Structure 1
């Protein structure tokens, strides 16, 4: 992950007469050299800043606070002076960006069904998935392009199952759990709401009619007394 420290191990000790060369990228740029147990760091500041460190005893290369632009192919060439024969090692390094938390939105809601959408933006090398409990329902993946992903899900409003949207790469994941009662508002909710309002209106009208009837009776009584 971005920000981690990564060590590329030589699995040995540097001999006094050995020469070790660390090479990076498609241009095969030499970034570090060990010769006669002296370490020489070459101008790689644009790519690595001051994050490179070489172990004096083993020659292992450590990249501190690694970034996505530090991903790629690393090569270690060891040239031995005393014993004939050189060794060659390759390290393929992939750096994953930090994962955002997925966002769940309501796409539409009608009848007893609710359509939802789980989304993430500017991601690469990830999979976006819907789970029902521990069971995978659907999934979509993206490789090396940084794009936005969306994955739909349709549920019933009365569904009591546990749903979650998971964004993951090979080493980390981010999970957003679905609360159906907060995300989905069905037609029955509206009817129930309107029914309650209608009941209040009827009660008020009935009260007004009762008051009007009492007022009319009092008026008739007084008018009769006057005559």
Structure 2
């Protein structure tokens, strides 16, 4: 490791080229810091394998130019240059990943090289009751899920500071899920964490809220069947009330007929 660092430092000392790897989250801004105020030449900022010129600094008259429509217009309304010559990229996307070079056009010498890697913004994990699993009388099954995750993303369950389980995805995936079984009376702290190489998001499990024991009707019959039974019960009640009302009205009408017959007699 030290040999690699020493070798890189030797290259920098020999050629004067500073190389830096930069990781950034999609949607954020990044500043590629340089200081070329002492360079009295024309300077180019170049992007990608094709060395597309996206910015120019004329140190003689201090003119600065941005070429945002180049490189397929991916830099449009996103580039800025500060007084030191540093390049600022705003609202960065995955299309801006790649090499950025600072070139002295008079000597064709590379002054700086930046390698940018843009990571997709992480979705917030969602913890729900795992209805696909049959929970026992003492245990509760939960599921931590994320949607539309990209490459190099991991989803993990932690109990306190201890890692319980983890799953990773190397390519684009529609959905990433990780189950966990806990006891209803468990008082430990559980959290689901999604992370990539530069950031992470945490969602805590609320056992009391999510794993409360359901009613006998719901647990034994299931939600759909429970609703059907409730609807049938309501219909039976309505029918019973209708029969009673009809019976009362029939008796009342019969009594009126008898009273009318007696008066006529």
Q: TM-score, normalised by structure 1?
A: 0.70
Higher helix share: 2
Q: Output aligned runs, 1:34-49, within 5 Å.
A: 34-35=57-58, 36=60, 37-42=62-67, 43-44=69-70, 46-49=73-76
Shift of 1:162: 1.1
Count residues in correspondence. Answer: 187
**Cα RMSD after superposing both structures:** 2.7
CA contact (8 A) 2:79 2:87 kept: yes
User: Where does structure 2 lack aligned partners over 5 or more consecutive residues?
Assistant: 1-24, 221-265
Shift of 1:94: 2.0
Shift of 1:106: 1.8
Give the SS at the match of 2:53: strand
Shift of 1:118: 0.5
Aligned position for 1:89: 112
Aligned position for 1:110: 136
Q: Output aligned runs, 1:26-41, within 5 Å.
A: 26-35=49-58, 36=60, 37-41=62-66
CA distance in 2 between partners of 1:123 and 1:116 (Å): 20
Match among 140, 149, 156 for residue 123 of structure 1: 149
CA contact (8 A) 1:113 1:186 kept: no
CA contact (8 A) 1:14 1:59 kept: no
Shift of 1:184: 2.6
Aligned position for 1:211: none
CA contact (8 A) 1:102 1:167 kept: yes
Show structure 1 runs of 4+ deviating over 6 A. none
User: Where does structure 1 lack aligned partners over 5 or more consecutive residues?
Assistant: 195-227
CA distance in 2 between partners of 1:74 and 1:68 (Å): 14
Give the SS at the match of 2:74: helix
Aligned position for 2:48: 25
Could you say if the C-alpha distance between residues 143 and 30 of structure 1 is closer, same or farther in structure 2, counting changes exceeding 3 Å? farther
CA displacement 1:167-199 (0-9 Å, x = unmatched)? 123333222111223323559x749x99xxxxx
Aligned position for 1:10: 34
